[in-house]
């Protein structure tokens, strides 16, 4: 397999892990977060700094997960009371603050210069195929975790919260705790994705983790299908494949990036207007809905 | 012994006295009807009793314990469950899942939780629709699901906000039968409704509210004879027949 294809497939694995986490936050819990890009960045910086300091992979993974999860906990506790439009404003504010920290805390992040020379995966000699294997294994693990969670009763409570928080509270479920838990889970997966992103590119700078990344991940989850674990994979497949496919369309090189964005965001608008349920609907194939007359995950009655 | 006791409960909204000193009790295994004209404060009282609204003054206790420091979900754990006037069904969950959200599933086998939910879905007569999405249900079916999921919290006091409104005569009769069956399970039931015929048939005691206060508290038979009650409902004093 060519290095180019491996690079694209590896990027798919990394973004899919982040999107799976975001689907728990947005798709299952209804928390419209635009902070995920910055959280991927925090995971990337924490992991890269540990690796550059010679801390080893285990410590880098543990700290990337722990820091992003703790940060996710603080973020959600701060914004838990806000709903709808207000939540989006707070979420956007947090994304901007985290980006500003990555850009301006130069002693640690080296600001716009970024961090380079990030070590690869030592056990596999740090090659492209080895990275793909490891990132794919992590993606499978993340997928199984999210699928098991979404099919658990706790996943059902999260979907209830997305539908009606007051009614869920009236049934004795601690809504705020569930929302914090969902956000922490999503943030932890962002941390994992961030660490993998840093080791894939061996270089990171703050501009990779701006609000664009948050919106890109959010679009992947919406276009793929909110609340369906397979939807995140399909959505990320689209956002990774589309720019690559457009590379082969003959057009002036200066225009390619812009046309890519126009096509992508037009597609997003069309989906929101005409197919809100996404490519893989919540109650379609692989649904998390509990079929009490059959097995979990079976299609529910119309 | 009274299960729920409210003493001098007050609640204001921008100077408007929604509750102006409500004294009120519900006994264990008692069915109490809470009636009154629109704007009398019935739903506000429900929201205050279930801690969805903070009250300004007075005290509320459930099973001998003051509830003013409890969060709504803690109160559910102590044994108060409620339904809503606007049903608030989970449209994106199946009937069974709606009920499962109300169950306590920590440390229990998955099959036991599902069995409990199914038995409650069957109790309200929707066993054949256990896998149907909430958004596909009729208005009456949504009301039944809201009662089933409230029962899933295993309440000692079930508070029903207008369970009979908007239902056909046949469905009202079915709903009344179900409320009687709930009573047989030794639960207290507090019902807000405007269907006086049903309330008098179901309730041991009727509490009538008017302008944020309790204006009558007694048996259904006594209520029907009370000029004060008729006055509260009609919004004017009773005029004596001069002929």
Tell me how many domains chain A contains: 1
Could you tell me which chain B residue has the CA closest to the CA of A30? B92
Cross-strand pairs, B189: B31, B158
Does position B241 have pLDDT exceeding 60, yes or no?
no
CA–CA distance, B145 with B141 (Å, rounded to integer): 6
Could you tell me which chain A residue has the CA closest to the CA of B74? A172
Interface touch B73/A173, C-beta < 8 Å = yes
> What residues in A contact B136, CB-CB < 8 Å?
301-302
- The pLDDT tens digits for A155-213 are 999 999 999 999 999 999 999 999 999 999 999 999 999 999 999 999 999 999 999 99
8 Å CB contact between B35 and B199: yes
Look up residue A50 and give its two tokens.
Answer: 């540990």
Q: Which residue has the higher pLDDT, A277 or B100?
A: B100
Nearest Cα of chain A lies from the Cα of B93 at a distance, in angstroms, of 7
Look up residue B90 and give its two tokens.
Answer: 């989970």
| DSSP structure string for chain B | -EEEEEEEEEEEETTEEEEEEEEEEEETT-EEEEE-STTSSHHHHHHHHTTSS--SEEEEEETTEE-TT--HHHHHHHTEEE--SS----TTSBHHHHHHHHS--TTS-HHHHHHHHHHHHHHTT-GGGTTBBGGGS-HHHHHHHHHHHHHTT--SEEEEESSSTT--HHHHHHHHHHHHHHHHTT-EEEEE-S-HHHHHHH-SEEEEEETTEEEEEE-HHHHHH-HHHHHHHHTSPPPPP--
Query: Which ipTM did the prediction report?
Result: 0.91
Does position A299 have pLDDT exceeding 60, yes or no?
no
Does position A297 have pLDDT exceeding 60, yes or no?
no
Please give the pLDDT value at position B134.
92
Interface touch A174/B73, C-beta < 8 Å = yes
> Which residues in A have their CB inside 8 Å of a CB on B?
153, 156-157, 159-160, 162-164, 166-175, 227, 282-283, 289-293, 300-302
**May I ask the CATH architecture of the domain B2-88+154-234?**
3-Layer(aba) Sandwich (3.40)
Select from A275, A273, A279, A281 the least CA-distant residue to A299. Answer: A281
Q: Is B97 on the interface with A (CB under 8 A)?
A: yes
Nearest Cα of chain A lies from the Cα of B19 at a distance, in angstroms, of 22
Nearest Cα of chain B lies from the Cα of A266 at a distance, in angstroms, of 28
Q: Which residue has the higher pLDDT, A195 or A85?
A: A195
Could you tell me which chain A residue has the CA closest to the CA of B107? A153
Look up residue B44 and give its two tokens.
Answer: 């506000």
Please give the pLDDT value at position A263.
78
| DSSP structure string for A213-262 | HHHHHHHHHHHH-TT-HHHHHHHHHHHHHHHHHHHTS---HHHHHHHHHH
Q: Please check whether residue A191 lies inside any domain of the structure.
A: yes
Sole residue written with tokens 């039931």? B189
Nearest Cα of chain B lies from the Cα of A154 at a distance, in angstroms, of 9
- The minimal CB distance from A153 to the residues B88, B113, B136 is found for B113
Q: Please check whether residue A28 lies inside any domain of the structure.
A: yes
Q: Which of A47-56, A235-244, A270-279 has the highest mean pLDDT?
A: A47-56
Q: Is B85 on the interface with A (CB under 8 A)?
A: no
Q: Please check whether residue A89 lies inside any domain of the structure.
A: yes
pLDDT (mean) for B107-115: 92
Collapse the DSSP code of A290 into the 3-class scheme (helix H, G, I; strand E, B; otherwise coil) and give the result: coil
- The minimal CB distance from B131 to the residues A156, A166, A292 is found for A292
Sole residue written with tokens 């635009």? A34
What percent of chain A stands above pLDDT 90? 65
Interface touch A169/B113, C-beta < 8 Å = no
Q: Please check whether residue A231 lies inside any domain of the structure.
A: no
Sole residue written with tokens 């029962």? B151
* Cβ atoms within 10 Å, residue A267: 15
Q: Which residue has the higher pLDDT, B151 or A251?
A: B151
pLDDT (mean) for A12-33: 95
Q: Is B58 on the interface with A (CB under 8 A)?
A: no
Domain containing A18 equals 3-223
Measured CA to CA in angstroms, residue B136 lies from A141, A301, A302, B94 at distances of 35, 10, 8, 9
Interface touch A170/B76, C-beta < 8 Å = yes
Please give the pLDDT value at position A298.
42
Could you tell me which chain A residue has the CA closest to the CA of B111? A292
Q: Please check whether residue A284 lies inside any domain of the structure.
A: no
Collapse the DSSP code of A203 into the 3-class scheme (helix H, G, I; strand E, B; otherwise coil) and give the result: strand
8 Å CB contact between A177 and A157: no
Q: Range with the lowest mean pLDDT among A207-221, A252-266, A272-286, B150-164?
A: A252-266
Could you tell me which chain B residue has the CA closest to the CA of A174? B73
Residues B224, B229, B234, B239, Cα dihedral to 10°: 80
Q: Please check whether residue A177 lies inside any domain of the structure.
A: yes
Mutate to test the interface with B, among A168, A171, A227 (most CBs of B within 10 A): A171
Does position B140 have pLDDT exceeding 90, yes or no?
yes
CA–CA distance, A34 with A258 (Å, rounded to integer): 22
Q: How many CA atoms lie within 13 A of A119 on its CB side?
A: 16
- The pLDDT tens digits for A117-152 are 998 876 555 578 889 999 999 999 999 999 999 999
């Amino acid at each position: 397999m060519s290095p180019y294809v491996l690079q694209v497939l590896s990027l798919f694995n990394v973004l899919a892990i982040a999107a799976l986490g975001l689907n728990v936050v947005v798709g299952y819990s209804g928390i419209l977060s635009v902070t995920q890009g910055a959280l991927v960045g925090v995971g990337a910086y924490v992991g890269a700094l540990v690796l550059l300091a010679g801390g080893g992979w285990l410590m880098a993974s543990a700290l990337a997960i722990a820091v992003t999860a703790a940060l996710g906990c603080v973020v959600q506790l701060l914004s838990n009371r806000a709903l709808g439009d207000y939540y989006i404003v707070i979420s956007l504010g947090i994304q901007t603050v985290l980006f500003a920290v990555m850009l301006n805390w130069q002693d640690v992040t080296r600001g716009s210069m970024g961090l380079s020379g990030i070590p690869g995966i030592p056990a596999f000699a740090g090659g492209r195929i080895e990275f793909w294997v490891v990132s794919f294994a992590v993606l499978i693990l993340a997928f199984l975790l999210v699928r098991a969670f979404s099919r658990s009763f706790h996943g059902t409570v999260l979907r209830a919260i997305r539908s009606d928080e007051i009614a869920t509270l009236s049934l004795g479920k601690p809504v705020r705790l569930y929302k914090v838990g969902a956000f922490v889970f999503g943030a932890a997966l962002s941390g994992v994705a961030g660490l993998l992103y840093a080791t894939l590119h061996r270089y990171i700078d703050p501009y990779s983790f701006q609000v664009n990344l948050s919106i890109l991940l959010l679009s992947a989850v919406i276009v793929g299908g909110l609340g369906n674990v397979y939807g995140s994979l399909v959505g990320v497949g689209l956002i990774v494949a589309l720019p690559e496919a457009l590379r082969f369309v003959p057009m002036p090189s200066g225009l390619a990036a812009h046309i890519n964005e126009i096509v992508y965001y037009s597609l997003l608008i069309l989906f929101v207007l005409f197919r809100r349920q996404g490519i893989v609907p919540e109650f379609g194939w692989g649904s998390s809905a509990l079929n009490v007359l059959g097995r979990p995950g079976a299609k529910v009655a119309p | 012994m009274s299960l729920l006791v409210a003493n001098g409960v007050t609640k204001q909204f921008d100077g408007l006295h929604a509750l102006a000193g409500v004294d009120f009790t519900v006994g264990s295994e008692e069915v109490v009807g809470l009636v009154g004209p629109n704007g009398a404060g019935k739903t506000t009282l429900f929201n205050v009793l279930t801690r969805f609204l903070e009250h300004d003054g007075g005290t509320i206790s459930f099973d001998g314990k003051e509830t003013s420091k409890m969060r709504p979900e803690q109160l559910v754990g102590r044994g108060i469950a409620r339904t809503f006037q606007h049903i608030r069904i989970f449209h994106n969950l199946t009937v069974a899942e709606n009920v499962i959200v109300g169950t306590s599933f920590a440390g229990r086998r998955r099959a036991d939780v599902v069995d409990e939910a199914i038995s409650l879905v069957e109790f309200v007569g929707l066993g054949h629709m256990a896998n149907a999405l909430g958004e596909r249900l009729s208005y009456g079916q949504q009301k039944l699901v809201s009662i089933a999921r409230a029962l899933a919290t295993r309440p000692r006091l079930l508070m029903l906000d207008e369970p009979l409104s908007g239902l056909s005569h046949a469905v009202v009769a079915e709903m009344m039968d179900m409320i009687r069956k709930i009573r047989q399970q030794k639960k207290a039931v507090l019902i807000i409704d405007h269907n006086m015929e049903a309330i008098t048939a179901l309730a041991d005691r009727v509490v009538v509210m008017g302008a944020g206060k309790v204006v009558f508290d007694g048996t259904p038979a006594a209520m029907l004879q009370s000029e004060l009650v008729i006055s509260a409902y009609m919004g004017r004093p009773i005029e004596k027949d001069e002929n």
